[in-house]
Structure formats: C-alpha cells, structure tokens
Amino acid sequence: MIQQGNISVSTENIFPIIKKFLYSDHDIFLRELISNAVDATQKLQTLSRIGDVKGEIGETKIEILLDEKAETITIRDKGLGMTAEEINKYINQVAFSGAKEFVEKYNDKLDQNQIIGHFGLGFYSAFMVASKVEIITKSFKDEPASKWTCDGSTSYTIEENPRTERGTDIILYINEDSKEFLETTRIQDILNKFCKFLPVEIEYDGKVVNNPNPIWKKKPSELKTEDYENFYNELYPYSEPPLFWIHLNVELPFILNGILYFPKVKPDVEPQRNKIQLYCNQVFVTDDVKDVVPEFLMLLHGIIDSPDIPLNVSRSYLQGDARVKQVNQYISRKVADKLDEMFRNERDVYENKWGSINLFVKYGMVSDEKFADKARKFCLLTDIEDKNFTIDEYIEKVKPLQSDKDNKVVLLYTSDATKQHTYIYNVQRKGYSVLNLGGPLDNHFIQHIETKVENITLKRVDADTLNKLIDKGEDNVSILSAEDEKKLKELFESKIANATYKVETKALDADDDFVTITKPEFEQRMKTMSQMGGMSFYGAFPDTYNVQLNTNHELATSILNNTNEEEVSKLLMQSVDLAKLSQGILTGQELTNFIKRSAELLK
C-alpha cells in the first residue's frame, strides 16, 4: 500500500531557500547524513546496553556507497532504524519544521559567510545535492520496513518495503548541478574533512576512513608522549614534532576536550594560522576558531571538541556568548599553568624551547592582562650571550652597574646584534649587559614591560640618552677649553649641518669613540613600528640623529691644532663617515666617497 502525503509546512517550497543559504557549503550534506547514521548507531548501542534491544547487535559499520552509473550516493547504517510512524514524526513533521524554523529565524540577519555550522538543518540538507531522496529503513522493533520517497517538492510517498535487516539506507539521486559529488576523490575529501574522528567506523571504497577513538577523548593518564606525537603526525603529516602540548579535559562548567600543540616556530617562516580544528562530539565543524581560542594562541595546532559551543549561530553572536568567553578564558589559563609548570619543573628544557615559545608568551602578555600577570614569572629575557633570565632575575643582576640617577634600572637592548655591533662592543667594554630583543613582537613587548615593571627603562644600545642614563652623574672633565669645544662643534657643523644631524660635544673617556651617531629612543621605536606595518604616520617623519663629539679624544686636539685646511676637512669627513658606518647609514654616494678617501689616506 502506498501512502501519500504533504510535508507539513506552510512555506510552499522550502528547498530553494535551503539551497540558497547553504550554497557555499554544499558538502555538509554528507556530514549531516553521516552524523544521523552515527546517532542511529549509538542510540542502538545504548538501547542494547540497557536491555531494550535483545540479542547481539552485530557489527555496526556505516557504509558510504557511490554508484556512478545510477548517479546515486547511499549512506547505509545498521542503527536503530525507523518505523513508518517514526518517519512521519521525525522526517515529515519535526525535521522539516526544524529546517523551516531555522530559515525563518535567521532569514533577515543571515549572512551565509557568517554561519559556522548548520546543525539543525540535518536531513533536509540532502536536497542541496539531490533531486530525489529515498529512505529505506527497518526499525529494530518488530515492524515491517518502509520506503520513503521525496523529489524535493513538499509531497512525499511512503510504502512498505521487503527489507529485513535492521538499519537505514539513505539514497540520494544526485542532481545535475552536483555531479562533482559522484567523483570518488571528492567524496574522499569530504570524509577526510568532516568524518576523520567520528565515533563509529565509516567505510568507503572498501576502507575504514576514520579513527573512532581519537586520543583527545582518552584520559591524559592513559597516554604516553609517543601517543601525542603520533596523533600530531596523523593531523599534520610531515611536520616537525611539536614542542609540547596541553590536554584539555573538563566537564564543568562546560564540556571541553582537546589537545593543543605548540608547534616549532621557525624564525624565517610565517607561522600558520587556522590549524586548530573545532569538533562537536567528534564531528568536524570548522577550522576557524576565532573567539573560542584566545587571539594570541591562534598559532597553536590541534583539536578542540565541545558540545557546548553554539554552532548554528552567526559570528557576531558567538563573540558575545558567555559560554564561548568562558572556554576562551579557560584555555588561556590552562596554557599559562602549563608554561608555569614546565618552567618550574624543567627549567633547562623550557629554556631550550624558549626560542619558539617566546612568541606566544610575549603575544599573550601584550594582549591579555591576566595572562601577563602570570607570565611575569616565566617570561624570559635573553642576553646577547644567550643566557636566559626572568625579568626579576635580570633586574637584580644588572642593578648594581646599570642604575641611573633616579635609581631606575636601565636595561640595554639590541634589535640587531650584527648591525649594532660597534655600540654593543662599546657598552660591553664598560661591563654593561645587553639584551637581545629583535623579535617581531619585541617592540610591543618592550613597551609592555616598561609600563608594567616600575623602576626600569629600556634603551637601545645606539640610543642618544645612553651616556646620561648610565653614568651616575659625574661627568668627565673636558680637556678642551669651552672655546675650543665651541670651535670643534662649529667645524663639524660646517660639514654636516642640516636638519638631520644635530652636533653636540661631550667629555667621554679618552678611549671612547671620537664621533658617535645616535638616534632618539622614541624615534627609533616609532620607526620600527612603522616598518612593521602599523603607524605609517610616523614613517613620514624624516630621520634625525645626534652626532656626539668626544672632546677627550686625541683626534679632537689634533684637528684643532691642524692648520692645513684640506687635511682637517678630510679628517672631519672621515670621522663622521666612520660613525655613520657603525650606525649603518653610510650608503650611496657617501659610501663611495668614503671608500675613495680611505684609499687615498692609505697612500
């Protein structure tokens, strides 16, 4: 007996609407149908466990069958099946009204790019790719099998079917526009994307395509290092082993499982984002985990699985969601705890990894206050001898020698130990310590610790205020008279006077360099910022430099005493050019002139 009916919705034809909304994401039909098959299988297993299903349930593999000739895809499960009455209830009424509700609810505010999951649309997503869908199903209950057919209009037929084995076949007759889904590789790709870790075995093309027991569902105590590394390899084949990982495992106040890996960061390779996958009960949802994972941890790799993150809503909603915020904060806290633990228990291991970890820690510190407070204990400063210190340790170490008049501790740093070599050499000669802070985030980091840690100030080794800051007050006595100092200054000004260079004299030690070119710390930072992309406004400013003349240097006296104008001119230019050379700003015609002049002086 064939029964006919109309699917109970008021909208004339809902399918065009479904198609429109899910246009960009057609491949989720397979995820939805396989999820239903998994649900049906797990429900059967539960019923069997509690004794509602008698006898052995046998193997429960789900099969995906592709028939290129008939142009069909079949999703076959051995789950609990449906009686005719249940089809009526769950397919004809409930599910469809669910789809309708979804569309009505989001009709106006829905931007399809904003939807991150479409859970709830479920079964009817089949019509995105199929012109006709059949359900042949036999319930575990002692009732005849049924066949339901629908061609994408709102009418369907339902009839008895001779099928005897328990379970459900969903048969999709693929439509003209969706022929791509009849290709084996396309199906394989979709399975690989959505079904890799579904909890029931899925077979396609004679092979099981998923790992039903991924390690994130297991207890950390059951797992060894090897297990975590193998799993990482399974997720990201051919990549270098991770530095370490964090196994997330909470039930309250929300359920969250997962593993977050810290990848090795190579200095010259742009780290990859979007390597964290979000799952809902082992079903892949998205690899865009913005908001769920703190921004500074977006470079981590791994898996997050939570049934508690709302999936079928828009981005802007997600952002304000209290649950999502809690998850985000939980992850941030977990990461801080893990780093703290590693630092305390295995400091040498931690230090070895610092080259890669520091990017996360510094990013975390500048962007997340709570994290910053915790990280103060395990954030390291590395000096140019490659020794590591916590911020407090370092301050203690350098305090005796590097405090200024106001008792502020001056932390000296270099942004490029090769280019600023002369300056480093000069301060090291006086026993000062220099930090290496030339990483991509260090500019922000420097600003951060300056505001967070009282009583310190950071100066780049070639900054203008360096001398004033470190020698505690007593200036050297100049061996030149005030008149001679003025004369020396004017001599230099006559050679290089312009808006860029400001000449000043200072009584330094006799063995300090004769001419030193420095740059105001503030300008230096602005320049680095604008080079990094932000604050392009400052990039438009011309560079300014201080040219500092050491009045106690032998050359000062010999220039003043020299009456040969041509020789004096050469000496002045040569001294300035040497200073420019160590600042890295001697280029172009000036460089050529310098080389020619040097060769002549050698004669």
Least separation in angstroms between residue 37's CB and ligand ADP is 5
Residue partners of 149: CB distance under 8 A and separation at least 6: 132, 133, 134, 156, 157, 158
- Which option in ligand ADP, Mg ion, none does residue 79 bind, with CB closer than 5 to 8 A by kind? ligand ADP
| Binding range to ligand ADP, per CB under 6 A, among 51-59, 115-123, 226-234, 401-409 | 115-123
37 makes contact with ligand ADP (CB under 6 A): yes
State the Cα–Cα distance between residues 392 and 46, nearest whole angstrom: 57
C-alpha distances out from residue 87 to 91, 92, 131, 195, Å: 5, 6, 20, 25
State the Cα–Cα distance between residues 153 and 124, nearest whole angstrom: 12
**Residue of 79, 81, 117, 122 that binds Mg ion (CB under 5 A):** 122
- Which option in ligand ADP, Mg ion, none does residue 360 bind, with CB closer than 5 to 8 A by kind? none
Least separation in angstroms between residue 208's CB and ligand ADP is 19
Residue 585 backbone phi and psi in degrees, to 5: -120, 15
Size of the site for Mg ion (CB under 5 A): 2
| Binding range to Mg ion, per CB under 5 A, among 52-60, 121-129, 165-173, 587-595 | 121-129
Least separation in angstroms between residue 295's CB and ligand ADP is 32
Of 87 and 466, the one with the shorter C-beta distance to ligand ADP is: 87
State the Cα–Cα distance between residues 164 and 136, nearest whole angstrom: 11
Tokens standing for 72? 């069909």
Least separation in angstroms between residue 43's CB and Mg ion is 12
Element (H, E) at 156: strand 155-161
Amino acid at 269: V
40 makes contact with ligand ADP (CB under 6 A): yes
Asked, as a colleague might, if the bond just before 199 is cis with ω within 30 of 0, I would say no
Least separation in angstroms between residue 41's CB and ligand ADP is 8
| Binding range to ligand ADP, per CB under 6 A, among 29-37, 46-54, 184-192, 200-208 | 29-37
- Indicate the pairing of strand 388-390 with strand 155-161: unpaired
125 makes contact with Mg ion (CB under 5 A): no
168 makes contact with Mg ion (CB under 5 A): no
Contact 321, 312 (CB under 8 A): no
Residue partners of 303: CB distance under 8 A and separation at least 6: 197, 214, 216, 235, 258, 259, 276, 277, 279
User: By CB under 6 A, what part of segment 53-92 binds ligand ADP?
Assistant: 77, 79-82, 90-91
Contact 37, 80 (CB under 8 A): no
169 makes contact with ligand ADP (CB under 6 A): no
Of 123 and 204, the one with the shorter C-beta distance to ligand ADP is: 123
Of 91 and 336, the one with the shorter C-beta distance to ligand ADP is: 91
Least separation in angstroms between residue 315's CB and ligand ADP is 22
Of 36 and 426, the one with the shorter C-beta distance to Mg ion is: 36
C-alpha distances out from residue 545 to 463, 503, 585, Å: 10, 9, 11
- Which option in Mg ion, ligand ADP, none does residue 214 bind, with CB closer than 5 to 8 A by kind? none
**Residue of 21, 29, 123, 127 that binds ligand ADP (CB under 6 A):** 123
* Nearest alpha-carbon partner for 312 in 32, 13, 94: 32
Of 124 and 363, the one with the shorter C-beta distance to Mg ion is: 124
Residue nearest to Mg ion (CB): 122
117 makes contact with Mg ion (CB under 5 A): no
* Nearest alpha-carbon partner for 582 in 490, 480, 462: 462
Least separation in angstroms between residue 120's CB and Mg ion is 8
State the Cα–Cα distance between residues 89 and 158, nearest whole angstrom: 13
List beta partners, residue 4: 157
| Binding range to ligand ADP, per CB under 6 A, among 120-128, 230-238, 459-467, 572-580 | 120-128
36 makes contact with ligand ADP (CB under 6 A): yes
User: By CB under 6 A, what part of segment 522-581 binds ligand ADP?
Assistant: none
122 makes contact with ligand ADP (CB under 6 A): yes
State the Cα–Cα distance between residues 583 and 599, nearest whole angstrom: 21
- Give the chain's count of helices (H) and strands (E): 20, 22
Beta strands in 162-209 (DSSP E): 167-174, 202-204, 207-208
**Residue of 60, 92, 161, 168 that binds ligand ADP (CB under 6 A):** 168
- Indicate the pairing of strand 202-204 with strand 62-67: parallel
Of 36 and 92, the one with the shorter C-beta distance to Mg ion is: 36
> Locate tokens 């002045």: which residue?
572
- Which option in Mg ion, ligand ADP, none does residue 57 bind, with CB closer than 5 to 8 A by kind? none
**Residue of 32, 383, 462, 464 that binds ligand ADP (CB under 6 A):** 32
CA angle 187, 192, 196 (to 5 degrees): 130
Which alpha helices (H) appear in 384-459, and where do they start and end?
Answer: 391-398, 421-428, 442-452
Query: Residues 21-60 vs Mg ion: string with x where CB under 5 A?
Result: ---------------x------------------------
- Which option in ligand ADP, Mg ion, none does residue 442 bind, with CB closer than 5 to 8 A by kind? none
Which alpha helices (H) appear in 255-379, and where do they start and end?
Answer: 315-320, 322-345, 347-367, 369-375
Of 283 and 488, the one with the shorter C-beta distance to ligand ADP is: 283
Of 134 and 512, the one with the shorter C-beta distance to ligand ADP is: 134
Tokens standing for 578? 């040497």
Where does this chain bind Mg ion (CB under 5 A)?
36, 122
Where does this chain bind ligand ADP (CB under 6 A)?
32, 36-37, 39-40, 77, 79-82, 90-91, 95, 120, 122-123, 168
